[in-house]
């Protein structure tokens, strides 16, 4: 690998070999220091709202179709942050910190121009397999997002294939007095390319969908280099109503500009707003940046021994907790969410989709407020 530091080449080769034996969960595998990120996966749900303006303005749409288009525009605008931020900040995709059960992350996007404050609440609701639940809400705008996220990974020899599990449901209270609307958002598949070279990056693959309770469906296809065009990171979305009649097609690059016909639909080069988080000194002990503080510091400063020592301490402490719970016949209580075996909203909206979803049922995490 051309981008692997000389002294970590052997470690990288053996990490790649171990990928072949992976059983679906890459998060718990040990990787060489150069590929480690000091950021936990519990911070990732913030990517959903780095364009708080687009999020808030959904409820200002004048009709169900107008609001559906706003949802689609906001969704496409989130992709660049979700899937390229680590490359932009750290030079390549990196391996995030694997959250502990009960880990929390809170943040806000302050009110600006009367759009209202947007609040983010995240909890790691499962460690094995890793599942992160999140709730994002702008009360003034009447827009909220509720979701959870997990991953199943496999290795093809050149790329890591990631199937995302979970879904998100957006709730909108229209400003024009129309009835409350729900939008089911499914998640695309990922391919992590450039692994052999030690400079991984994400390409999106296959398709995802947005299904509204008002009968609109957006089907979004993702392609890399050489499919729709010679460009990477491209998508094509079609908007339909009640399963017939193509109302509009949107296409472009989710890292750049996209069009609806000749008109520019979205330009993702617009600056994004990062979530505002309390200083670590004011955080509780389960809050992500405080919990991982020493590990993150070790990774950032190149003191990998400190990082490894602290990581082991956290993992041992977790193991002991699980043992104590098993011995005492108790289990960990979630703080912000309640697990349900079948998410009713998911079931109803998934059932409206023309291309039926597998699975037809999914777990849900209900925000306790
Ligand atoms: C939900 C997102 C998700 C999380 C990340 C696959 C991945 C962990 C999950 C799916 C967010 O909404 C969007 C973006 C990026 C996804 C990560 C990319 C990635 O590589 C990691 C996996 C677990 C690795 O760390 C692989 C190691 C790799 C960097 C070196 C080979």
Sort residue 151 into left (φ over 0), alpha (ψ -120 to 50) or beta: beta
Q: 230: Cβ–Cβ under 8 A, 6 or more apart, which residues? A: none
Nearest CA to ligand 1 atom 19: 95
For the chain, how long is the longest CA-to-CA vector? 65
Structure letter (DSSP) for residue 179: P
Q: For residues 261 and 243, give the distance between their C-alpha atoms in angstroms, rounded to a whole number.
A: 21
Residue carrying the six token digits 């480690």: 36
Across the range 107-123, mean pLDDT stands at: 97
Host H or E run for residue 95? strand 95-97
List CB contacts of 118: < 8 A, sequence separation 6 or more: 49, 52, 55, 56, 108, 109, 136, 137, 138, 141
Q: Can you tell me which atom of ligand 1 is nearest the CA of 45?
A: 12
The pairing of beta strand 95-97 with beta strand 160-165: unpaired
26 in contact with ligand 1, CB cutoff 6 A: yes
So what's the ipTM on this one? Answer: 0.98
Both tokens assigned to 261 = 């016909």
Atom 31 (ligand 1) nearest CA: 195
- Rounded to the nearest angstrom, the distance between the alpha carbon of 285 and the centre of ligand 1 is 25
Q: Is the CB of 27 under 6 A from ligand 1?
A: yes
Q: Whose CA is nearest to atom 22 of ligand 1?
A: 95
360 C-beta neighbours (distance < 10 Å), count: 12
Q: Is the dihedral of CA 225, 227, 231, 236 positive or negative?
A: negative
Q: Could you tell me if the CB of 218 is within 6 A of ligand 1?
A: no
Q: Report the residue among 41, 75, 91, 153 best suited for mutation to probe ligand 1: largest number of ligand atoms under 8 A from its CB.
A: 41
Closest CA to 111 of 66, 61, 55, 69: 55
Which atom of ligand 1 approaches the CA of 83 most closely? 14
Q: Supply the residue whose CA is at minimum distance from atom 24 of ligand 1.
A: 95
Ligand 1 center–CA 352 separation, angstroms:
30
Query: 95: CA distance to ligand 1 center in Å?
Result: 7
Token pair in block for residue 318: 């977790």
Closest ligand 1 atom, CA of 164? 10
The model's pLDDT over 56-98, given as tens digits with 9 standing for 90+, comes to 999 999 999 999 999 999 999 999 999 999 999 999 999 999 9
Residue of 190, 197, 200 to mutate, ligand 1, most atoms within 8 A of C-beta = 190
Ligand 1 centroid distance, CA of 196 (Å)? 16
Report pLDDT digits (tens) over 27-44: 889 999 999 999 999 999
If one counts every other C-beta atom within 10 angstroms of the C-beta of residue 303, the result is 15
Q: Is 118 in the pocket of ligand 1 (CB under 6 A)?
A: no
Burial class (CB in 10 A: 0-12, 13-18, 19+), 202: buried
- Predicted local confidence at residue 360, as pLDDT: 80
Average pLDDT along the chain: 95
Q: How much is the pLDDT for 145?
A: 98
Q: State how far the Cα of 278 lies from the Cα of 111, in Å rounded to an integer.
A: 16
pLDDT in tens, 10-25: 999 999 999 988 888 8
The Cα-based distances of 11 to 18, 34, 35, 122, 211 in angstroms read 11, 10, 11, 33, 44
pTM of the model: 0.96
d(CA 170, CA 18): 39
């Amino acid at each position: 690998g051309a981008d692997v530091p000389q002294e970590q080449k052997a470690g990288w080769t053996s990490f790649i070999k171990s990928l072949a034996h992976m059983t679906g969960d890459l998060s718990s595998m040990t990787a060489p220091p150069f590929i480690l990120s000091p950021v936990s996966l519990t911070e990732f749900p913030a990517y959903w709202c780095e364009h708080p303006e687009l999020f808030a303005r959904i409820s200002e749409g004048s009709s169900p179709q107008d609001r559906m288009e706003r949802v689609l525009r906001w969704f496409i605008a989130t992709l660049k942050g979700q899937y390229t931020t680590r490359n932009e900040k750290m030079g390549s995709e990196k391996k995030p910190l694997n959250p502990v059960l009960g880990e929390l992350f809170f943040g806000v996007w302050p009110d600006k121009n009367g759009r209202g404050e947007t609040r983010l609440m995240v909890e790691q609701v499962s460690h094995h397999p890793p599942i992160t639940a999140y709730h994002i809400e702008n009360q003034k705008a009447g827009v909220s997002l509720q979701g959870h996220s997990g991953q199943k990974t496999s290795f093809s020899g050149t790329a890591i294939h990631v199937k995302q599990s979970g879904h998100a449901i957006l709730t909108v209270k229209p400003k024009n007095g129309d009835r409350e609307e729900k939008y089911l958002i499914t998640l695309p598949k990922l391919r992590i390319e450039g692994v052999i070279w030690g400079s991984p990056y994400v390409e999106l693959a296959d398709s995802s969908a947005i299904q509204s309770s008002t009968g609109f469906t957006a089907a979004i296809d993702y392609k890399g280099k050489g499919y729709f065009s010679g460009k990477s990171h491209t998508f094509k979305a079609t908007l339909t109503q009640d399963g017939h009649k193509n109302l509009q097609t949107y296409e472009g690059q989710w890292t750049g500009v996209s069009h609806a016909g000749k008109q520019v639909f979205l330009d993702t080069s617009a600056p994004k707003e990062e979530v505002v988080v309390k200083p670590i000194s004011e955080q509780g002990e389960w809050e992500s940046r405080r919990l991982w503080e020493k590990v993150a510091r070790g990774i950032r400063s190149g003191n990998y021994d400190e990082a490894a020592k602290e990581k082991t301490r956290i993992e041992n402490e977790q193991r002991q907790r699980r043992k104590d719970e098993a011995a005492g016949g108790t289990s960990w209580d979630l703080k912000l969410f309640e697990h349900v075996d079948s998410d009713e909203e998911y079931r109803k909206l998934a059932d409206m989709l023309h291309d039926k979803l597998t699975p037809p049922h999914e777990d849900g995490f209900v925000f306790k407020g």
